[in-house]
Structure 1
Amino acid sequence: MIKTQHKQLIYFIILMGVVNLFADMTHEGARSIYGAYLSFQGLTAAQIGFVTGVGEFIGYGLRLISGNIVDRTQRYWPAMTIGFVINVLSVPALVFCNRQGWLLACVLIISERAGRAIRLPANNTMLSFAGSQMGNGRAFALEEFLDSIGSFLGPVYLYLIMTLGVTATTNYQALFAWLIVPAILTLVALMFAHQQFPRPEKFEPDKVTTGQTKIDGNTWLYVIGIVSFALGFMDFPIITMHIQRLNLVSNINLPLLYALAMIIGAIATLVFGGAYDRWGIKVLSWSTLLAAPFSGFIFLSHHLSVILIGIVLWGIGMGAQESLMEAIVGAMVARRQRARAFGFFDMVFGIAWFIGSWLLGLLYDWSLPIMVICSVALQLVAASCYLIINWRTTKMGAA
């Protein structure tokens, strides 16, 4: 009986991961060329940072509303369906943006993030039901691993389309049109997962009461930590724009840089996710410290080999943060408030990401060394917060 349930848990998580894999192929494939595309449309670094920052703000901030609705209604699959439809179909819709259509392009880029915001609290809450039985670290790591594989395949998919001569490297409309394929696969996989597991909340019995219902000092420290991380961890379009300006990589190879970051993130997700179930939140401080100097490697060097080291560190930091942040919230909050909690923490993270992307874009145009110093300092603040939480938790446990 236990083995059967464990197999069902793994099957459910893999199905959810496959849905997210195809979704990430769609929107992360597009994100690998957003920087070059918006620069082609005539936007500056600050403007690109502002647009992508607004997208992340909407993509995280809207989750508080979505999470509240999901907690009240307990209707997980409808929220997932609406969110995925908006999320994945906004990308191929970019085919309708011509050379002067930068405003519509920005709206669609932001709406893609909004769709993601609608679906993720429900997605993460359903995963937490499975995680309550097999460990949140492993559950979220497995799903995030498949998610990251999709993030890797999306840019590679566009790269193959360009290298096979299907479309020119600067024909962005055609590239976005080709992303309709993984978008459709996302919706097909979603319908199949819904059919197989119509009531995923049954994985976590009502008698399971793990998690707290009030905010304490450690919770606020955790908020400070994720805010600091988000403020100092710029969006990848700024990185691709910088590399394009240095003329170190041709347009056809730009998606491969994002693919590299995503595959590194996938590996980091599995490593740090499993470690979290064993050692707790201090694992998040390890990944943050490891990734902290990424901006120095990327923005203070003109050598591609050094920049690639920075991209690897960026992938480690982002992969670990995305999986562990959700796993920690899933373990921290009681079941019936979990979607709301996911939404709250994501909203806070999104506001910080928006402000950070915009300000780091402004600093990029003003002074690269100062931008790097600010980025590294904020990562160190985040790691310090996680270490303090771990110390407090260990001290309370010993007492």
Structure 2
Amino acid sequence: MNLEPPPRDVALRFVLLLGVVSLLADVTYEGARSITGPFLAMLGASGALVGIVSGLGELTGNGLRLFSGWLADRTRRYWFLTLAGYTINLLAVPLLALAGRWEIAAALIIAERTGKALRTPPRDAILSHATARVGRGWGFGLHEAMDQIGAVAGPLLVAAVLRIEHNYRLAFALLLAPALAALGVLLRARQQYPNPQDLEPSTGLAARGFSRAFWMYMAAVGLVAAGYVDFPLIAYHLGRHSAFPAEQIPLLYALAMGVDALAALIFGRLFDKLGISLLALVAAVSALAAPLAFSGGRLAALIAMAVWGAGVGAQESVLRAAVGALAPASRRGTAYGLFNAFYGLLWFTGSAIMGVLYDISLKSLIMFSVAAQLLAVPLFLAAVHAGKSPRPRSAAR
């Protein structure tokens, strides 16, 4: 009598383990990111320096993802790079409690981003093997939903500490607990699933190079990223025009994050049924966020936050799932490195352009955002019809 659990159940448990890791990790570094700005200011950094440190951290992180994805495929050391990246990413946070100068704090902030960049492509490659069994959209959707729980819980935990003690160093020090818990769960996942590639049935995809559909998809992803207005700019606009009092704006972000988590699950299920063509619909709907946020009143802003959160949920789940469907398993790390770096670069570029346009013309900003995302629609559809991977495989059972 065979008492072994079905492959789908084994894969689902692995997805959930990695989801717990992401939840605890997000409690750690999203909690820290909510106060790094004022902490740097307390240490004597100027506003310009805070901006430079933040920008340099993101730039370094995006560039390194290209290298870490390639290195993972070249060495096949996916677990080693994932563990090393998480260790740097997570332990840099509580070390901020010991920083006595802004230069040391800045180095730790950049180290945290560097660790995240090092581990993200190999982690996503590992996750993609398991999602082939449970459904790529559903697997990445579950992972993103759990990730967002941590992203909301972390800042709330830090806010509670500051309300009681008003001590930044204590807040950073307490984040050691979820950091160590995340590393513990990750080590357990590594022990239980040392060869996650065994969870993925053969897809028949060629191992050399990337398909035409993949590059069309990447072009569409770049347009979505460039046209997606960043929340800080929306918050700046709403605060400047007194649409909402300052204390209510964080609640708008919480609303968006709640929708994000729910949307990741819904879009994940839909992706497993509809494939990449779903992303054309997502891009078209997401294009409504900028017009609603920048040209409407309070009700329009609330709707904009829901639309914006749904779009982020789709981007963090099914955009990643599609990479796994389009790239051969042997090149999955490189594919995720390209995806993350390209997405981050175009997001940064688009955000900078829209920031400049905001001071010139709100109409121009809205037109840029809408046009970029609508231009992605035919490219997503072209990727579907390129004939390589128009629809994801059904979850193997």
Please give the TM-score of this superposition, normalised by the length of structure 2.
0.84
Structure 2 counterpart of 1:329: 323
Matches of 1:376 and 1:35, distance apart in 2: 31
Q: Is the 8 A contact 2:207 2:330 kept in 1?
A: no
Q: Classify 1:80/1:43 alpha carbon distance in 2 versus 1 (closer, same or farther; 3 Å).
A: same
Counterpart check, 1:182 vs 2:178: yes
Q: Does 1:283 align with 2:287?
A: no
* Structure 2 counterpart of 1:17: 19
CA contact 1:154–1:259 (8 Å) conserved in 2: no
Q: Which residue of 1 aligns with 2:130?
A: 130
Structure of greater relative contact order (alpha carbons < 8 Å, 6+ residues apart):
1
C-alpha distance in 2 between matches for 1:95 and 1:369: 44
**SS at structure 2 position matched to 1:90:** helix
Structure 1 stretches of at least 4 aligned residues deviating more than 6 Å after TM superposition? 34-41, 394-397
Counterpart contact for 2:25–2:178, Cα < 8 Å? yes
| 8 Å contact kept, 2:214–2:327 | no
Moved more, 188-197 or 104-113: 104-113
Once the two structures are TM-superposed, the CA of residue 32 in structure 1 deviates from its matched residue by 4.7
In the alignment, the residues of structure 1 paired with residue 232 and residue 37 of structure 2 have an alpha-carbon distance, to the nearest angstrom, of: 4
Contact preservation (8 Å) 1:53, 1:353: no
Deviations 1:325-370 (A, max 9, x none): 2211111111111111111222211221222232223333444332
Quote the residue 2:395 is aligned against.
none
Residue 121 of structure 2 aligns to a residue whose secondary structure is helix
Equivalent position amino acid for 2:358 in 1:
Y
**What are the Cα deviations for residues 18-41 of structure 1, in whole angstroms up to 9, with x where unaligned?**
001111222233445667878996
Output the CA distance in 2 between the equivalents of 1:96 and 1:38: 13
Equivalent residues of 1:213, 1:333 under 8 A apart: no
Given candidates 6, 9, 15, the residue that maps to 2:8 is 6
Map of 1:120 onto structure 2: 120
SS in 1 for 2:380: helix
In the other structure, the counterpart of 2:47 is 43
- What do the CA deviations read for 1:101-130 (whole angstroms, capped 9, x no partner)? 3x6655544433221111111111111211
- The residue type equivalent to 1:297 in the other structure is L
Equivalent residue letter for 1:270: L
Question: Which residue number in structure 1 is paired with residue 164 of structure 2?
Answer: 166
Q: 2:199 corresponds to which residue? A: 203
CA–CA separation in structure 2 for the residues paired with 1:343 and 1:311: 29
Aligned partners of 2:99 and 2:105 also within 8 Å: yes
Aligned length: 386
Matches within 5 A, 1:1-399: 3-32=5-34, 43=47, 48=51, 52=54, 54-95=56-97, 101=102, 107-162=107-162, 165-168=163-166, 175-204=171-200, 207-210=202-205, 213-245=208-240, 248-250=244-246, 255-301=250-296, 303=298, 305-393=299-387
Give the AA of the match of 2:47: L
Amino acid at match of 2:25: A
Fraction of identical pairs, as percent: 38
**CA–CA distance in structure 1, aligned partners of residues 175 and 252 of structure 2:** 18
Inter-partner Cα distance in structure 1 for 2:56 and 2:384: 33
- Aligned AA (2:10): Q
**Partners of 1:323 and 1:269 in 2: how far apart?**
6
**SS of equivalent to 2:204:** coil
Matched to 2:356, the amino acid is L
Q: Which runs of 5+ in 1 are unaligned?
A: none
Letter aligned with residue 73 of structure 1: T
Task: Check conservation: 2:207, 2:329, Cα contact below 8 A.
Answer: no
State the distance in 2 between where 1:173 and 1:10 align: 38
Contact 2:7 2:133 in 1 (8 A): no
In the aligned structure 1, how far is the partner of 2:305 from the partner of 2:188? 35
- Give secondary structure in 1 for the equivalent of 2:208: coil
CA distance in 2, matches of 1:111, 1:395: 37
Distance in 2 separating the partners of 1:396 and 1:157 = 43
> Hey, what's the Cα distance between the residues in 2 that align with 1:293 and 1:38?
36
Is 228-237 or 309-318 further displaced after alignment? 228-237
Structure 1 residues 106 and 246: alpha-carbon distance in aligned structure 2, compared to 1, 3 A threshold: farther
What is the rounded CA distance, in whole Å, between the counterparts of 1:66 and 1:354 in structure 2? 20
Q: Which amino acid aligns with 2:371?
A: A
Question: How many angstroms apart in 1 are the aligned matches of 2:364 and 2:11?
Answer: 47
> Compared with structure 1, are the counterparts of its residues 383 and 32 closer, same or farther at alpha carbon in structure 2 (3 Å cutoff)?
farther
Structure 1 distance, partners of 2:91, 2:234, is 25
